Amino acid sequence: MAEPVHEFTICIDQVRDYEFRVRFDKLNLPELTLDEPPPLGQDAGPNPSRILAAAIGNCLAASLLFCLRRAKVNTQSLRAEVKTQIVRNAQKRLRVSRVEVAINVAVPEAEREAACRCLPLFEDFCTVTQSIRDGIEVQVRVTGLDR
């Protein structure tokens, strides 16, 4: 495994039931409320699957925007729509099975050719999407239940 280039830690605290407060490592970032929809939670915030979808869509949109700006292409608008499918696996557990991202970008007609050069490039620079595609190592440790 490669040496970390960057590392950060966020804290997630239960507020009540399935509602959690996320505090980020940067003090200037607002806290985020996560919650499950009923019947488990109260929909006080997005659930983790929605956050995952938002991270994928945002990362891809930002990667495309970065490429377009490096190519000196002026964007008039950029919007990503993320369709996420949740299915039950063989063990009847809910899983994100598919994510479809549709990005609509408007650029001046004279800059379209330069913009098109970004199409085969930008996905590879999306940290989140490529990490998911490659598979992310997740280690879990639970404390406080020692006997």
Contact 60, 82 (CB under 8 A): no
Determine if the pTM surpasses 0.85. yes
Residues 85 and 130 in one domain: yes
Residues 81 and 113 in one domain: yes
**Containing domain of residue 30, as a range?**
8-46
Count: domains in the chain: 2
What average pLDDT does range 67-80 have in this prediction? 97
Flag whether 147 is in a domain. Answer: no
d(CA 99, CA 90): 20
Residue 143 has pLDDT above 90, yes or no: no
Residues 61 and 19 in one domain: no
Would you call the peptide bond into 38 cis, given omega within 30 degrees of 0 as the criterion?
no
Over residues 41-57, the pLDDT tens digits come to 999 999 999 999 999 99
